[in-house]
């Protein structure tokens, strides 16, 4: 990475908290707010808000999530160390300071990537992937746990808003109630809409087998993490019964090498915040694609900076399937205007330099 000399650059961070519109109930429990840190890389003498002088600036976001990344306190501590290391030894030293803290590393690396992509007047996805221009990427709607009728209504609303793929949370209720929820959603949205379900490790092998029998009838296209993260063989045995299997929590538990060797997944979910950065996630996506496993990018219900980074990551992955990056509407508030337009089941990829997020760091 070529950057200005250390004494010309500085790394800063500041805390934020954004509420969700309503708690996202999952098999793991509920997510009610997202508390993290905005990260900014600027030229040391930069005077201010989003570098009005037009000099390069880079934004990142470190938003820890329990069960997926380090704790908030550990993330804060790692960013403190990274700021000092950056001052003393530049980006490479800062990256060493966050090496074992995935959310903190995500924030620092995204800010550095945004900084470099802005300097070269390149959209972040092209800076990441050196690939062709990509105008839009397919996205799924994210629908939390609710009664069968409420879930069906939420899915119908998403389809009316243009989504062609809905991912439903399951696992917080009995398998029979979840089967009924998916049945009612399928009846509500018709046969053309893609339905995926995410159990967040909630089921036993028998429960997963029962669910798959019914979900195959409803033409569910993907079942995410039915069994606990540690189960590799169990997931391998569930495959091939009419509903493809994706691993999410299992990616963090085993790594993609073990998953692919065990033949445990048809797809893997790549969460840049949990993997330590969009750079890591893109390398993993290329790797699993080589092995015939489908990469799916999702956010960790992040604020606009990390969420836009996930959109750029998805745009850097050739032939990416619908991704879970349309999560901005789950938030009651955000840190800045969303540069990503959602329409007709896709996200329009920002083509401006860098991430394309502005107005996010106001004094
Ligand atoms: O995949 C999506 O549609 C959005 C992201 C999403 O569902 C999740 C983000 C973070 C934690 C979980 O609640 C959940 C998941 O397990 O994939
Ligand atoms: Mg998941």
Ligand nearest to the CA of residue 267, numbered in listed order: 2
Half-sphere exposure of 180 (CA within 13 A, CB side): 10
What pLDDT was estimated at residue 46? 47
Task: Show the tokens assigned to 172.
Answer: 């917080």
224 is in an annotated binding site: yes
Domains of the chain: 2-121 (3.30.390.10), 136-348 (3.20.20.120)
pLDDT in tens, 234-274: 999 999 999 999 999 999 999 999 999 999 999 999 999 99
What pLDDT was estimated at residue 3? 40
Active site residue 167: no
Quote the strand ranges of the chain, DSSP E.
9-26, 29-43, 57-62, 136-138, 141-143, 165-169, 194-198, 220-224, 245-247, 267-270, 294-297, 341-343, 346-348
What pLDDT was estimated at residue 311? 98
145 is in an annotated binding site: no
In the block, residue with structure tokens 């803290």: 101
- Split at pLDDT 50, 70, 90, the class of 4 is very low
Q: Which residue is closest in CA terms to ligand 1's atom 14?
A: 300
pLDDT in tens, 83-109: 999 999 999 999 999 999 999 999 999
Nearest partner of 163 among 329, 328, 326, 340, judged by Cα: 326
What pLDDT was estimated at residue 28? 79
Residues 91, 94, 98, 102, Cα dihedral to 10°: -30
User: Is pLDDT of 45 > 70?
Assistant: no
Q: What burial class does residue 190 get, using C-beta atoms within 10 Å of its C-beta: 0-12 exposed, 13-18 middle, 19+ buried?
A: exposed
pLDDT in tens, 312-357: 999 999 999 999 999 999 999 999 999 999 999 999 999 999 999 9
Instruction: List ligand 1's pocket residues with C-beta within 6 A.
Output: 26, 140, 142, 167, 198, 200, 248, 269, 298-301, 324, 327
In the block, residue with structure tokens 């390149």: 122
Q: How far is CA 92 from the centre of its chain?
A: 25
C-alpha 91/C-alpha 7 separation (Å) is 11
Asked if 262 contacts 236 with a C-beta cutoff of 8 angstroms, the reply is yes
What pLDDT was estimated at residue 27? 74
What pLDDT was estimated at residue 282? 98
Q: Which residue is closest in CA terms to ligand 1's atom 11?
A: 300
Taking the CA atoms of 355, 357, 358 and 363 in sequence, report the sign of the dihedral they define: negative
Active site residue 353: no
pLDDT in tens, 124-148: 999 999 889 999 999 999 999 999 9
Give the residue with greater pLDDT, 51 vs 91. Answer: 91
What pLDDT was estimated at residue 190? 98
Regarding beta strands 136-138 and 141-143, do their DSSP bridges make them parallel or antiparallel, or are they unpaired?
unpaired
Nearest partner of 259 among 272, 273, 270, judged by Cα: 270
Q: How far is CA 288 from the centre of its chain?
A: 17
User: How close is the Cα of 58 to the center of ligand 2, in Å?
Assistant: 29
Give the residue with greater pLDDT, 340 vs 53. Answer: 340
- Split at pLDDT 50, 70, 90, the class of 26 is confident
**Which ligand 1 atom is at minimum distance from the Cα of 225?**
16
C-alpha 281/C-alpha 84 separation (Å) is 26
**Which ligand 1 atom is at minimum distance from the Cα of 327?**
4
Q: Which residue is closest in CA terms to ligand 1's atom 16?
A: 200
Find the DSSP H helices in 164-255: 175-189, 205-217, 233-238, 249-254
C-alpha 184/C-alpha 189 separation (Å) is 9
C-alpha 274/C-alpha 320 separation (Å) is 19
User: How close is the Cα of 298 to the center of ligand 1, in Å?
Assistant: 7
Q: Among 12-16, 50-54, 152-156, 326-330, which stretch is predicted with the lowest mean pLDDT?
A: 50-54
User: How close is the Cα of 235 to the center of ligand 2, in Å?
Assistant: 14
Sequential DSSP letters for 208-222: HHHHHHHHHHTTEEE
SS3 assignment, position 194:
strand
User: Is pLDDT of 203 > 50?
Assistant: yes
C-alpha 194/C-alpha 282 separation (Å) is 25
CA-based angle 278:284:285, to the nearest 5? 85
Residues surrounding ion ligand 2 at CB below 5 Å: 198, 224, 248
Sequential DSSP letters for 121-169: T-BHHHHHH------EEEB-EEE----HHHHHHHHHHHHHTT-SEEEEE
User: Is pLDDT of 169 > 50?
Assistant: yes
User: How close is the Cα of 155 to the center of ligand 1, in Å?
Assistant: 16
């Amino acid at each position: 990475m070529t950057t200005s000399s250390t004494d010309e650059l500085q790394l800063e961070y500041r805390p934020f908290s954004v509420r969700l519109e309503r708690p996202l109930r999952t098999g793991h429990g509920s997510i009610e707010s997202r508390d993290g840190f905005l990260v900014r890389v600027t030229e040391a003498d930069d005077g201010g808000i989003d570098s009005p002088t037009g000099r390069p600036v880079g934004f990142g976001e470190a938003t820890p999530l329990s069960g997926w990344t380090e704790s908030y306190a550990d993330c804060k501590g790692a960013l403190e160390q990274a700021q000092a290391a950056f001052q003393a030894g530049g980006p490479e030293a800062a990256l060493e300071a966050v090496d074992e803290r995935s959310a903190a590393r995500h924030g620092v690396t995204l800010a550095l990537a945004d900084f470099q992509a802005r300097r070269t007047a390149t959209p972040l996805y092209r800076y990441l992937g050196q690939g062709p221009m990509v105008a839009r990427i397919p996205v799924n709607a994210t629908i939390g746990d609710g009664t069968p009728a409420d879930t069906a209504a939420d899915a119908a609303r998403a389809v009316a808003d243009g989504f062609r793929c809905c991912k439903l949370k399951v696992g917080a209720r009995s398998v029979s109630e979840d089967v009924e929820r998916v049945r009612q959603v399928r009846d509500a949205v018709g046969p053309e809409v893609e339905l995926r379900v995410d159990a967040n490790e909630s089921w036993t092998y028998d429960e997963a087998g029962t669910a798959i029998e019914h979900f195959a009838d409803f033409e569910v296209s993907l079942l995410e993490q039915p069994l606990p993260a540690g189960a590799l063989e169990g997931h391998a045995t569930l495959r091939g019964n009419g509903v493809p299997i994706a691993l999410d929590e299992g990616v963090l538990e085993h790594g993609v090498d073990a998953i692919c060797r065990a033949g445990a997944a048809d797809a893997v979910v790549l969460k840049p915040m949990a993997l330590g950065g969009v750079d890591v996630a893109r390398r993993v996506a290329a790797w699993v694609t080589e092995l015939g496993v489908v990469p799916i990018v999702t956010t960790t219900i992040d604020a606009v900076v990390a969420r836009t980074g996930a959109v750029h990551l998805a745009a850097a992955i050739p032939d990416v399937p619908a991704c879970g990056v349309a999560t901005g509407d789950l938030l009651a508030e955000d840190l800045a205007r969303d540069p990503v337009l959602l329409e007709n089941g896709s996200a329009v990829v920002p083509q401006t330099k860098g991430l394309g997020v502005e107005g996010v760091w106001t004094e």
